[in-house]
Structure 1
Amino acid sequence: NELCLAIKEWGIPCYIRVGYEFNGRWNGYDPAAYRQAFIRISTAFRENKVDNAALLWCFATDGGADFISFYPGDEYVDWWSIDLFSENHFADPKTTAFLDSALIHRKPVMIGESTPRKVSVQGGEQSWNRWFQPFFKLIKQHPHVKGFCYINWDWTTTRWSDWGDGRIEANSFIKEKFLDEMRSDLYLHGMKKKKLKKILKF
């Protein structure tokens, strides 16, 4: 309840991934226990009338293929979410199955985490063709994907050093192509709260 009230008092739209990457073996969640926990959290948000928060149900393409056994139910989930890292994730049958199922359930999708893992930005045009172009193609092919988060990070300084440098600004070709993509009317960006609320009808 304290979390609900704090977010409600904050007052701006926010997205909360509850137990993200629920199907990841690194989390070790039990489907029944996970569903129960999600329902408890969702119920608390509803009862406290936290109208500025959306609860996301986040799938890991690197995890197991079975996602529906973890599903709490449409009435408890606002958005579906998926994390995409490797270049083979875009055409992965698990990705396709998840996105298709989200459409059937009439749920918007957010790409909760994304970064060009083991491709990096350093290849310039090659990196764009291998990772970025398929990434944006996937978004355009699935209109119910309504948002994405990109991890703009130099992974070479972390324990995941073989992921490479994912910073957009670290390669001039990638930077210009990315900025050009972001100029499309398809995307909304940071703006004054009043204008954003008007667009979101919030």
Structure 2
Amino acid sequence: MRKGLVVLLVLLLAGCSLGDKEEKPAPAPPPDLSDKPAAVAVNPGPFQSGPVQAPKKGALVGAWIKPDELTHVGRLAAVDGLEANLGRKLPIVNTYRRFEQMVGTSSDKEFLAQGATLMVSWATGDNRSILDGEHDALIRKQAKAIRKIHQPVLLRMRWEMDRPNLRATMWSGGDYIAAWKYVRNIFAQERATNVSWVWCPTAEGFIRGDAPAFYPGDDQVDWTCVDVYAGESFQPIGQLMGPFLQFAAQHPKPIIIGEFGVAKAWGSAGRANWLRDAERTFKANPQIKAVTYFESDPEGNPATKQFQLTGDKLAFNAFHALVKDPYFNP
């Protein structure tokens, strides 16, 4: 009897000591996407895509590759390094510019000389100040700079304009549309006719339902576009951009996936699985004529917002398979 009490006391004390520790539950594994059907919503065309012509079959592939240093040498090294690892040139190179930063830098010219198409993601400013004429000289300077490169350019004017944190400068869909038309008119005045105008909200904006209010119209847009990430939540890419695909199917424009990425938070196997699903979804939607990966780990971001594939063998191999697929070599 005494022995039993001792055993019981030991067990109770053990239970108390264990109860003092708060063990964090293991993160749930990402869902298996291998059998998920790809979302399909397709406008058969024909497509009017402006100076940057959409391929008749398949899709072009490209990327933004964050350089170690934002210099001419750094930009070239970043792109050259990824292309060396992939074993091929990228037909599209994405590059970001603040409102006052001009296109036509040394690295821009080098990418063009190598046969790439530039996709310029241009962070224009406050829409109402644009409409008030405060930035006319700057807009004209950019139009002239783009005209002088003498090659077709994809221009994403204030991409992700539907983000809630940009509402203070975007004001409303109507303001954005008016500013879009205002800027495009200045480009026409400056004979910058080598621009394909790319309208690119977020996948979340279509899920919320507010992105369509920013659409300038079929007569103003050459390519429709969306940025889509498996970031804070891990869902099939077809599910994430399904509402956008439904919208785009109503417009006779080719689609470019302006940015896509899968976060490191979801592990190597989950990331590889998501990228294989992305490849299936892109190929199931022949209206998608170009896709560009966001190859970057922005400084200070948590794992749910870090998307670089280099260094993650499983994930990179899945992206490599997409890039080497003949469908993405039209």
TM-score normalized by structure 1? 0.80
Q: How many corresponding residue pairs?
A: 183
Cα gap change, 1:147 to 1:119, in 2 (>3 Å):
farther
* Aligned with residue 288 of structure 2, among 134, 139, 145: 145
Q: What's the offset of the Cα at 1:76? A: 0.8
Structure 2 distance, partners of 1:154, 1:70, is: 29
Report the CA distance shift for 1:173/1:88 in structure 2 as closer, same or farther (over 3 A): closer
Q: Which digits, 9 at most, give the CA deviation of each residue in 1:147-200, with x for residues without a partner? A: 122111235xx2212226533221222233322221122224xxxxxxxxxx8x
CA contact (8 A) 2:162 2:211 kept: yes
Counterparts of residues 88-167 of structure 1 (less than 5 Å): 88=235, 90-92=237-239, 95-119=241-265, 123-129=267-273, 131-155=274-298, 158-163=299-304, 165-167=306-308
Aligned CA-pair RMSD:
2.2
Tell me which residue corresponds to 1:49: 191
- Asked if the contact 1:61–1:89 (Cα under 8 Å) also holds between the matched residues in 2, the reply is no
* 1:163-178 mapped onto 2 (5 Å cutoff): 163=304, 165-178=306-319
Q: Which runs of 5+ in 1 are unaligned?
A: 189-198
> CA separation of 1:135/1:71 partners in 2, compared to 1, >3 Å: closer, same or farther?
same
Tell me, what secondary structure is at the counterpart of 1:110?
strand
Deviations 1:67-93, CA, capped at 9 Å, x for gaps: 222111111111111001123262447
Higher normalized contact order (CA 8 Å, seq sep 6+, divided by chain length): 2
* Structure having the higher Rg: 2
When residues 147 and 60 of structure 1 are mapped into structure 2, their CA distance, relative to the original with a 3 A threshold, is same
- 2: CA distance, partners of 1:5 / 1:16: 14
* Distance in 2 (alpha carbons) for counterparts of 1:146 and 1:119: 29
Please tell me the residue identity of whatever aligns with 2:280.
Answer: K
Task: Check the 8 A contact 2:264/2:307 in 1, yes or no.
Answer: no
Other-structure match for 1:10: 149
Aligned partner of 1:49: which letter?
R
Paired with 1:98 and 1:106, the residues of 2 have a C-alpha distance of 14
CA gap 1:41/1:183 in 2 versus in 1, 3 angstroms:
same
Q: 2:221, 2:324 → 1: CA distance?
A: 31
TM-score by length of structure 2 reads 0.51
AA aligned opposite 1:90: I
Using the alignment, how far apart are the partners of 2:305 and 2:220 within structure 1? 37
- Between the aligned partners of 2:204 and 2:236, the Cα distance in structure 1 is 8
Structure 2's unaligned 5+ residue stretches are 1-139
Task: Give the secondary-structure state (helix, strand or coil) at the position aligned to 1:99.
Answer: helix
Q: Map Cα deviations across residues 81-120 of structure 1 (whole Å, 9 max, x no partner).
A: 1001123262447x22222222221111111112213545
Residue in structure 1 matched with residue 220 of structure 2 by the alignment: 76
Q: Which residue of 1 aligns with 2:180?
A: 38
| CA distance in structure 1 between the aligned counterparts of 2:245 and 2:291, rounded to whole angstroms | 14
Structure 2 CA distance for aligned equivalents of residues 88 and 31 of structure 1: 28
Identity %: 22
Whether the 8 Å contact between 1:153 and 1:167 is mirrored in structure 2 is yes
- Measure how far apart 1:8 and its partner are: 1.0
Q: Which one-letter code corresponds to 1:14 in the other structure?
A: V
Contact 1:42 1:77 survives alignment (8 Å):
no
- Summarize the Cα distance change of 1:39–1:164 in structure 2 as closer, same or farther, 3 Å threshold: closer
Determine helix, strand or coil for the equivalent of 2:180.
helix
Other-structure match for 1:22: 161
Task: State the secondary structure of the residue aligned to 1:149.
Answer: strand
Note the C-alpha offset of 1:145.
1.1
